[in-house]
Structures are given as C-alpha cells and as structure tokens.
Amino acid sequence: MAYLQSFLRTVCSLLLFLACSEALKFDIEAASKGDAKGTRCIRNFVAKDTLVVVTATVGGYKGDGMVVNMHIKDAVGNEYGRPKDVAGEQRMAFTSHADASFDVCFENYFSGSKGVQQPFRHVELDIDIGADAKDWSAVQATEKLKPVETELRRIEEMVAEIVAEMDYLRTREQKLRDTNESTNTRVKWFAFGTMGMLIALGAWQVVYLRAYFRSKHLI
C-alpha cells in the first residue's frame, strides 16, 4: 500500500511538472528567401497513429516586412502541413503515419526590398503528443466525469503510451540484435570462404610451380 501511494505521488508530481512546463520560446532572424540562416527546425519523435497537436504563437504582424512560414513533416517523407505567412496563434492537429521523428520548421524571410529595423520574429512553440494532445475538458463534459476520474483516465492513457513505447523499443532492440547476429554469421562464413580460397590458391601455385620447374629440368 505504501509503495502504491509513493508511486501515485511520483506520477502526480511528474504530471504537475509537465503541466507547469512552458512552451519552447526562441527568436528567428529574417533572411533572404532560400537562405538557411532564416530557417529553424524543432525535432521530436512520435509513434504511429498518435495524435499530435502543434501550437505556434508567432510575434509580429502581417505586412511588417517579414513572412514566417511553417512546415511540418516526418523523416519518412509524410507532410502534415505548410501554413503560410503565420502571425499570431497557429494550431495544427494531425495523426502520425509512421514510427518516425517529425520536424516543425519555421522560415522567416524578408517580404520586400526595404530594410527592417528589428529583423526578428518571436516564436512560442508547444507540441502535445498522445494523451497530452487530447482536450480533457471536452472529454470530461461529454462523459460526465469527475475531475479525479478525468485525471485517472489521463494517467491511464499516459501509462499505456509508456508501455507501448517500451514494447516498441524492445522490438527494435530485438531486430537490431538479429541483424547484428546475422551480420556476424555472414562475416564468419565470408572469412572461412576467403581462407579456403587462399589455401586452394596457394596449393595450386605450389603444384603449378613444381610442375613448371620439373618440365624445365627435363628440358
């Protein structure tokens, strides 16, 4: 019982820490279009069929001499959105198509030839994945749950996600181990084959040279 209470206190502390954590904040400098200096990407990993909500709050306003575009894509080529000329809050939700990392990229470039006094845009980025991406207030209202029941549902889904991620890592580790063992077996047989070929070649050379010099001696 004491262990269970300690575990629940630890989980609640972790959830409180996550709830109080702030969004990622940074400034992105404007550059000429196509210049990598004006691009910044944030990478995160997500499992397949997982809900992701990306909320970006971009400072400035449209027509201030700068244009901020967003691009969300994953490592295997899936596209999840390309909002253009973002100013203010931009929220995008999508379900991942693969077990892969995804990038949220921002591009800030000058929209005209006139100079800008402060060529920076301030960005606040918040990425919610899985259980954190759900609107739990709507779930509570729809299913008429008590606040404690809602929090327990949230914890249950977070634990299920952790278990699923551990299963994925275990499966990936097994695949890597099988690949390593298969590679070692192939290398071993390749070494044996190479050694056999060298021994056969050496024996052939000995036989050939012996026959060659014997024929020379007879002549």
The structural domains of the chain, with segments of one domain joined by +, span 22-133
CA distance 181 to 156: 37
Q: Give the residue from 29, 58, 28, 48 showing the smallest Cα distance to 96.
A: 48
State the average pLDDT for the chain: 83
Fold category of 22-133 in CATH: Jelly Rolls (2.60.120)
218 pLDDT band, cuts 50/70/90, is low
* pLDDT for position 212: 81
CA distances 157 to 10, 33, 133, 177, Å, are: 16, 43, 11, 30
pLDDT per residue as tens digits for the range 30-75:
888 878 788 999 999 888 888 899 999 999 888 888 999 999 999 9
Task: Specify which residues 73 forms β-bridges with.
Answer: 79, 103
85 pLDDT band, cuts 50/70/90, is very high
